[in-house]
Structure 1
């Protein structure tokens, strides 16, 4: 683990690209400098040294430099790569706006860091079922290989929108967005 000033050091290394989108973390391959005591909880709260980061602009900035390599998460700048812990997914989909209906429907999600994206081929929805509890864990791809856990209230909205469809001979419930059907569970 690095020293407590490491988070501030990382912030200072993030190139400023106003109006140009996200930094190209996928192109940066600096050496790994170890892990820092930063964690993203399942509810989307970011912690540094065990304390919640209360400044939303700082969390939003950190969220632009997160990268997943295999099962590990890192904050990456052009000169440094530091490991962090993520309890489940680095983002949470906290709101859903529905435009249109049927196969033409668009499902627009907003994450806890105010990223907006529409479910579709580039942002697929998937639902894992816990084999022990049978509880669903729904996710939507935000970017690259970074997902958002779909908040329970938002998942309930998806369930309300669900329609049946036959998939490989089985009846499933799912939702449409951008002409894609996303199965969210078997038809009871």
Structure 2
């Protein structure tokens, strides 16, 4: 049976040269791991929080999404995990001419054609996200969304938008 320690060791070996190329790996499925990423971005293993940020960043580096399912992937194995909402949370943004987000696991992306800002949810409960990598998204936390809303300007139709890398993103439905 695969466990978190074995996956972490394999991920550590694969990550020595930067971001692991999980998009190129297609190992056999080895079963599900009792691991969950909750909607606040916290990671749990066997019902216990993973308290080491380095371990969370390591697991996040080998996360892969296929359809609606999430997996931790190494060159030789793939295990399923649960993700309640989005696997990451955008916890800050440098808002200037462009918008550079930082996630709870240390990823940094600049919103633009390759890293869209998307509004989901409902009119009464909007949920903003930013694309991070390989079909993985981050929920934009409330304080950062409020800062985006403060920087937004109306487009020709009156909808509030933010702009980054020449791309406009609506912040309302």
TM-score, normalised with respect to structure 2: 0.95
1:135 matched residue in structure 2: 125
* C-alpha distance in structure 2 between counterparts of 1:98 and 1:128, whole Å: 21
Paired residue for 1:53, among 37, 50, 53? 50
1:12 matched residue in structure 2: 9
Paired residue for 1:178, among 152, 156, 165? 165
What are structure 1's unaligned runs of at least 5 residues?
Answer: 100-104
* C-alpha distance in structure 1 between counterparts of 2:152 and 2:51, whole Å: 36
Count of residues in correspondence between the two structures: 172
* C-alpha distance in structure 2 between counterparts of 1:9 and 1:140, whole Å: 31
Report the secondary structure of 2:114's partner residue: coil
The 8 Å contact of residues 14 and 74 in structure 2, kept in 1 or not, is answered as no
Residue 114 of structure 2 corresponds to residue 122 of structure 1? yes
TM-score, normalised with respect to structure 1: 0.88
Report the secondary structure of 2:59's partner residue: helix
1:157 matched residue in structure 2: 147
* C-alpha distance in structure 2 between counterparts of 1:108 and 1:83, whole Å: 30
Deviation at 1:17, TM superposition (A): 4.1
Aligned-residue RMSD, C-alpha = 1.3
Deviation at 1:171, TM superposition (A): 2.7
Deviations 1:141-166 (A, max 9, x none): 00010000000110000110111013
2:65 matched residue in structure 1: 68
* C-alpha distance in structure 2 between counterparts of 1:65 and 1:129, whole Å: 28
What are structure 2's unaligned runs of at least 5 residues?
Answer: none
The 8 Å contact of residues 99 and 111 in structure 2, kept in 1 or not, is answered as yes
